Homo-oligomer: A and B are copies of this chain.
Amino acid sequence: MNLKELSKLLGLSQTTVSRALNGYPEVNAQTRERVLRAVKETGYRPNKAAQRLATGKAGSIGMVMPTAPGHESDIHFGEFLSGIGETALRHDHHLVMMPADPEDEVGALRRLAVSGNVDALMIAYMRPNDARLDMLRSLSLPYIVHGRSLHALEDYPYVDIDNEAAFYDATKLLLQLGHRRIALINGQAHYDFAVRRKAGVERALGEWGLTLDPALASHSPMTDDNGLIATERFLALAARPTALLCASTVLALGVVRALNGAGMKLGEDMSLIAHDDVLPVLRPENFSVPLTTTRSSLRAAGMRIAERLINRDRPFADYPLQELWKAELIVRASTGPAPG
């Protein structure tokens, strides 16, 4: 059943039926009523491909999904995606994923854009001076960035959290507790968020006249294994740190394991502050010693981005171009005064 048949059935023109369906004003109320009833009865559904061809609109938002052989499926990404999905659903939009080799995200992005399958894009996992920004700017598709890109002209729309401030606050808390040797277990160094978090740590240390010892900074994918490895490395040092900052509660999982292995008590022998993305499977209050965290929901960020993308040309929607969310510092039991 297509438009032609339906309109023939109703004794109307395709034009009128189409307009009735799309809520145009120049159609009689009773006629519209009649059309709508016929649609119900016949089960007519407009062909999306045709609609798309005629309008140029796709009714979906796109995103490059980082994935490749050997690349772990990232729980953080899942949570973010979930927020996007939830919002897309509420607005009857699709989510088109372009799975991409992390080595070729620019290419994947372009392919997704030119594929004509989406009418808005988002990118995440930003790096300093991210090449995808130029790609995005050169495209004529609306887009939003999750995160930011250091050293890049900051003229693009983004939703980000204030990573620098979060880790500044966390470090400051540790300093106030008397800690002087503080280690950082960060995400991979090529990510923008990791750079900013490190900067936050350094700024706080600087205010106390200290610097971040390179031996006390670790960069790695945020898995519990890596948290374990980094912690063990720190513990083997002649001058052990008395406190750790870590970029994810997933990393913290490994940290806790390492401390247990070394017979150390969290919050007493070692303090720990982790960044909490509010992953439902890994709640900081459920750790054997509840974790002090800087908190900002990744899911909420996903929801926000999807919402902005979908409402992008609704007249009522007037979003700020750029949003910088503040992470909340929540003190629990994993932080205590520096030992000795």
Chain A residues packing against B (C-beta within 8 Å): 45, 47-50, 52-53, 56, 58, 60, 65, 67-69, 72-75, 77-79, 81-82, 84-86, 88-89, 94-101, 108, 112, 114-117, 223-225, 228, 250, 257, 260-261, 279-283, 286, 288, 299
Do B94 and A117 touch across chains, with their CB atoms under 8 A apart?
yes
Copies of this chain present: 2
A116: B residues at CB distance < 8 A = 47-49
> Assuming A73-B299, A95-B65, A117-B94, is B225 touching A286 (CB within 8 A)?
yes
Q: Which residues of B contact A225 (CB under 8 A)?
A: 283, 286
A100 to B223 alpha-carbon distance, docked (Å): 29
- Expressed in whole angstroms, the minimum distance between the Cβ of A32 and any Cβ of chain B is 22
- State whether A94 and B97 are in contact (beta carbons under 8 Å apart), knowing that A117-B60, A299-B73 are contacts in the complex: yes
Point out the residues of chain B lying under 8 angstroms from A52, CB to CB. 49, 52-53
Query: Which chain B residue lies CB-closest to A45?
Result: B114
Given A94-B115, A115-B94, A261-B288; A99-B73 close (CB under 8 Å) = no
Residues from chain B with Cβ under 8 Å of A88 in the complex: 99
Q: Is A50 within 8 A of B47, CB to CB?
A: no
Q: Is the CB of B60 within 8 A of A53?
A: no
CB distance from A259 to the nearest CB of B (A): 11
Known A78-B81, A117-B117; 20 more pairs at CB < 8 Å:
A47-B53, A48-B117, A49-B56, A49-B58, A60-B96, A72-B281, A73-B81, A73-B82, A75-B78, A77-B78, A89-B101, A94-B117, A95-B99, A96-B96, A96-B97, A224-B282, A224-B286, A225-B286, A257-B286, A261-B288
Minimal beta-carbon separation of A16 from chain B (angstroms): 22
Q: Please, how many angstroms separate the alpha-carbon atoms of A115 and B281 in the complex?
A: 33
In Å, the complex CA distance between A283 and B227 comes to 13
Residues of B within 8 A of A282 (CB): 224
Docked complex Cα distance between A117 and B117 (Å): 9
A-B contact pairs, 27 of them (CB 8 A): A47-B53, A49-B116, A53-B53, A60-B96, A65-B81, A65-B95, A67-B82, A67-B85, A73-B78, A73-B81, A73-B82, A73-B279, A75-B281, A84-B99, A85-B97, A85-B99, A86-B99, A89-B99, A89-B101, A94-B98, A95-B97, A96-B97, A117-B117, A225-B283, A228-B286, A250-B281, A260-B288
Please report the C-alpha to C-alpha distance between residue A68 and residue B281 in the assembled complex, in whole angstroms.
16
| CB–CB B73/A115 < 8 A | no
When distances are taken between beta carbons in the complex, the residues of chain B under 8 Å from A48 are: 115-117
Chain B nearest Cβ from A45, distance in angstroms: 5
List, in ascending order, chain B residues with CB within 8 A of A224's CB: 281-282, 286
Q: Whole-angstrom distance between the alpha carbons of A280 and B221 in the complex?
A: 11
Given A53-B47, A282-B224, also A67-B86 (CB < 8 A): yes
Residues of chain B within 8 A (CB-CB) of A286 are 224-225, 228, 257
Q: Are A89 and B67 CB-contacts (below 8 A) given A96-B96, A224-B281, A225-B286?
A: yes
Question: With the chains together, A48 CA to B98 CA distance in Å?
Answer: 15
| A46 CB to nearest chain B CB (Å) | 9
Interface centre among A52, A67, A82, A99 (most CB of B within 10 A): A99
Contacts of A228 in B (CB 8 A): 286
